[in-house]
Amino acid sequence: MKSKQTAILAISFLVIVAIAGYFFTRPDTGQSTPLSKLSIPEKPLRGLFDAPGIMVVEAREYPWSALGRLNIAGRHFCNAVAVSADKILTPASCLYNKIEGKWFDNSDMTYVGAYQRDNADLNAKIGSFDIAEGYDPNNKTLASITKDWALVTLSTPIGNKTGWLGLSNAKDNDQNLTAGYRRGWEHALVTYPYCSVGSTNNHCPNVTVDGLLNWFALNENQLVLSPPSGIDDIQDNWSLSSDGQQPSETVITAVPVDTIGRLLKAHGYLDSSKLSQENLKQALIKAKQDDIIAQADNIGIETFYKLIKSLNAINAAKTPAS
């Protein structure tokens, strides 16, 4: 009897250890990185916007690195988002050959992750793709349009090098962003920091002009894919995680340093024309003194979130009520 009780206690202990180990070792996309451990080469720091309301971001910094392009038969491209090590989500309509009335072949497509200005080395061929149930490329009803998703399986798990994003419906305190590669800017990853779901202002992309970009929700822990129609139609087809993961096999920067630097500059905390370890540190200290951010020695997704939230509040105060 005693040996049985001992065995039960031993198993219980191992289960507790395993659970604790999971929570202490699982990837945490919201984890901050000590500023002292980041290698920040001195480089020119642009202003916030490269065009009115449009910010070009560094695709070689996570979480932006989880976004990419699916190039189709040399004809066009689709915005895509890595959602696991070897899977991406993209609009199903992009994979349909309207001229021939059939789906493109796998061999016609190539995914390029973290692509920006000729940095196309993180690429993969397509192994297969699955179209969301209920989507019909020839049916323009709302019921079909909301199911306009395809889950693409890559031939190699480049998500380990680019990182990937989770999926979630936006919550009240999230900051909503649109991001992707737009028409006319095909070689630069952009976001619209002032655009929110349902907005009709000039700070949102025009689908007719810019093409279809994806919607994201930014919170203190991570950036997640968050389409306006919700994630139910996606999750009804595929069980995808609500948590993303930072890159584990690459030199891609684990936090969006360039984005944070430009947001600090927009707030007036960084007045230099160059980004460096020292002036970034001083800017973070000033932002902490004003209670804009919680800590100055570490930066991460929370820093990004706090600065975006503050900037949107400032912009909203300046925007006349309609």
Question: Residue 11 pLDDT more than 80?
Answer: no
Which residue type occupies 148? D
Question: Residue 16 pLDDT more than 80?
Answer: no
Compute CA distances 154 → 12, 57, 66, 151, whole Å.
Answer: 40, 25, 14, 10
Q: What average pLDDT does the segment 214-233 reach?
A: 94
Q: What average pLDDT does the segment 260-269 reach?
A: 94
Q: What average pLDDT does the segment 181-208 reach?
A: 81
Q: Per mean pLDDT, which range of 110-114, 140-144, 304-308 is the poorest?
A: 140-144
Q: Quick one: tokens of 264?
A: 């600090």
pLDDT in tens, 168-181: 999 989 999 999 99
CB neighbour list of residue 55: distance below 8 Å, 6 or more residues apart = 48, 49, 190, 191, 192, 193, 259, 262
Question: Residue 62 pLDDT more than 80?
Answer: yes
Q: Per mean pLDDT, which range of 1-10, 78-87, 197-206 is the poorest?
A: 1-10
Domains, the chain, ordered by start: 33-50+253-318 (no CATH), 62-174+228-235 (2.40.10.10)
71 beta partners = 77, 110
pTM: 0.88
* Per-residue confidence (pLDDT) for residue 209, from 0 to 100: 86
